[in-house]
Amino acid sequence: MLLAAACLLVAYMIRFDVSLSGLESVRASKGFQPYAHLMVFAPFIRAFTYNLFGIYDTRRRGSRSPDDTFGLFKAITLGTGIIIVVTFSYRGVFEFREYSYSRYVLFLDWLLNLFTVTGVHALVRTFRDELKRRGVGLRRIAIQGTGETGRALMEEMERFPEVGYSVAGYIENGTGNSTITVSNRGLERLGGTENILDAINRYRLDEIVLTNPGGLGDKLMEFVEECDKLGVVVKMVPDLYGILFHGKALEELAGLPVIQINEIAIVGFSRILKRAEDVIISAITLILASPLLALAALLIKFDSPGPVLFKQDRVGRNGRVFTLYKFRSMFKDAERVRPQLESLNVADGPLFKMKNDPRITRVGKIIRKTSLDELPQLFNVLKGEMSLVGPRPLPTSDLTKYGQWGDRRFSATPGLTGLWQVNRTVHTSEEMLKWDIYYVENWSPWLDFKILLKTIRVVLTGKGAY
């Protein structure tokens, strides 16, 4: 609120060329009085819009700078819109008054709020993350289940303490004490679900995450009620069925509550809007990045023999096959060597990921780390074979490896980037499938915009690229 008042004051001083020394004399002037009133009113508007967009929501944990920045942008813009309406009303809605607020002041106020508030939030977030890395203010959490999902969650929380949690151990039915090793740290069994109250009291738990809710059977609601008694938050990692049901509204059918499962979000006008977004952004990006594309092509040509572009048949929307373009990052005919390297694959299912792949060239390491090898796919986007955001296109050889769930992800146009690419933690086919199905079911222009912002961050940090 102090920043809101200060930004409006600075905007006034810039517009009317008022120095700090001359502010005292201006303060009593007739022209400044309406702005003084606005400086009292504006902070409350700003606080209201920040709260409206969840900026003060304590559940927004961890470093989510793209989401936070976009939320601030919307909150600040809406606040400025409300202030403009108020100033217009002050001028006179039904009759004209002599006084009018400067539009330039209101524009400067919007710009200053955007930069200062975003900057302050970034500093606070950095300070908070550093405290969490040092173990200050962490919430103690227990993971129910030690399957693949449970272990993956434990590993990520151990690797990234800035998300705000400290893993106390795991919950699993059984007898005796046992310890599992996660990220070179031993995590002990805190107890079973049948005596969860004892575990909560003994280990001072704040939250419990269910990664195997099916293991609780009909005791699930009883388990949640027990946790409620001590104010412990219970969260659940959904399986593929849970992803489908997420956000679905109940409808009535013959007096019974039902959920429509197979709603397709990207149809009709939504598809037209998404296509317009693809054409405009990809065309502008290709024009701006053309010098970089030319430089990458020259380096690839001089670094190793073979074509500049790597072309491969991929599966597009509704199973249609198209030719995908990438900058060649491997030696010529590298695909023929892949069967010999399958044992070194760090991913599961049809995915193939390998660290220190011997097939990658010197230039290939650079363009892969910076994701420049993906830029030629913008031509696929312009041709309509791909979209900027969507499930990643898979090779034709992998078409049958996902079964019926895979058909669901192929109902959308494949994308240059997607939810899995910007949120991935471990390289599992089930994880990718969950993110892709969630995207297909919940598409919106805002979701695309947030994914593109997160993609920029992932590219700049080189996270997960090798």
In degrees rounded to 5, what are phi and psi of residue 314? -125, 160
Residue whose structure tokens are 């939250």? 207
Question: Which of 133, 168, 183 corresponds to the end of one domain?
Answer: 133
343 and 360 fall within a common domain: yes
28 and 73 fall within a common domain: yes
Token pair in block for residue 214: 């099916």
Cα–Cα distance, 335 to 331 (Å, whole number): 9
In degrees rounded to 5, what are phi and psi of residue 201? -70, -45
Number of Cβ within a 10 Å radius of residue 65: 16
Whether the per-residue pLDDT at 255 is higher than 50: the answer is no
299 and 384 fall within a common domain: yes
Q: Could you read off the pLDDT of 308-362 as tens digits, one per residue?
A: 998 888 888 877 889 999 998 888 777 777 666 666 655 555 556 666 677 888 8
Whether the per-residue pLDDT at 193 is higher than 60: the answer is yes
- CATH number for 225: 3.40.50.720
92 and 183 fall within a common domain: no
82 occurs within a structural domain: yes
Cα–Cα distance, 364 to 328 (Å, whole number): 7
Residue 452 confidence (pLDDT): 87
169 and 109 fall within a common domain: no
Tell me what the mean pLDDT of segment 85-95 comes to: 63
Residue 351 confidence (pLDDT): 58
Contact of 141 with 167, CB cutoff 8 Å: yes
281 and 399 fall within a common domain: yes
Cα–Cα distance, 456 to 466 (Å, whole number): 17
In degrees rounded to 5, what are phi and psi of residue 45? -65, -45
253 occurs within a structural domain: no
Whether the per-residue pLDDT at 462 is higher than 80: the answer is no
**Measured CA distances, 449 to 97, 178, 281, 445 (Å):** 42, 45, 11, 6
314 and 432 fall within a common domain: yes
Q: Given pLDDT bands bounded at 50, 70 and 90, which one contains residue 408? A: low
Domains identified in the chain, total number: 3
Helix ranges (H only) for 53-136 are 65-91, 103-133
| Secondary structure element (H or E) that encloses residue 432, with its range | helix 429-441
Cα–Cα distance, 68 to 138 (Å, whole number): 20
249 occurs within a structural domain: no
Closest listed residue to residue 111, CA positions, set 135, 79, 152: 79
Q: Given pLDDT bands bounded at 50, 70 and 90, which one contains residue 63? A: very low
Half-sphere exposure of 305 (CA within 13 A, CB side): 1
Residue 92 confidence (pLDDT): 47
> Quick one: DSSP state of residue 330?
B
Q: Given pLDDT bands bounded at 50, 70 and 90, which one contains residue 36? A: confident
Q: What is the pTM of this model?
A: 0.52
Q: Could you read off the pLDDT of 152-192 as tens digits, one per residue?
A: 888 877 777 667 788 888 888 876 668 887 767 788 888 88
Contact of 171 with 143, CB cutoff 8 Å: yes
375 and 411 fall within a common domain: yes
466 occurs within a structural domain: no
245 occurs within a structural domain: no
Beta pairing partners, 169: 142
215 occurs within a structural domain: yes
Question: Which of 117, 133, 149 corresponds to the end of one domain?
Answer: 133
Q: Could you read off the pLDDT of 419-460 as tens digits, one per residue?
A: 877 875 555 666 777 788 778 777 778 888 888 888 887 777
Token pair in block for residue 87: 């100033």
Cα torsion angle, 370, 375, 376, 380, sign = positive
Question: Which of 75, 109, 133 corresponds to the end of one domain?
Answer: 133
43 occurs within a structural domain: yes
Residue 254 confidence (pLDDT): 45
314 and 437 fall within a common domain: yes
Token pair in block for residue 110: 């919007």
Mean pLDDT for the chain overall = 78
Cα–Cα distance, 259 to 277 (Å, whole number): 31
332 and 308 fall within a common domain: yes
Cα torsion angle, 321, 322, 323, 327, sign = negative
Amino acid at the residue 33: Q
Contact of 141 with 170, CB cutoff 8 Å: no
Name the range with the highest mean pLDDT among 180-184, 264-268, 338-342, 382-386: 382-386
351 occurs within a structural domain: yes
112 and 150 fall within a common domain: no
Tell me which residue range forms the domain holding 37.
2-133
308 and 369 fall within a common domain: yes
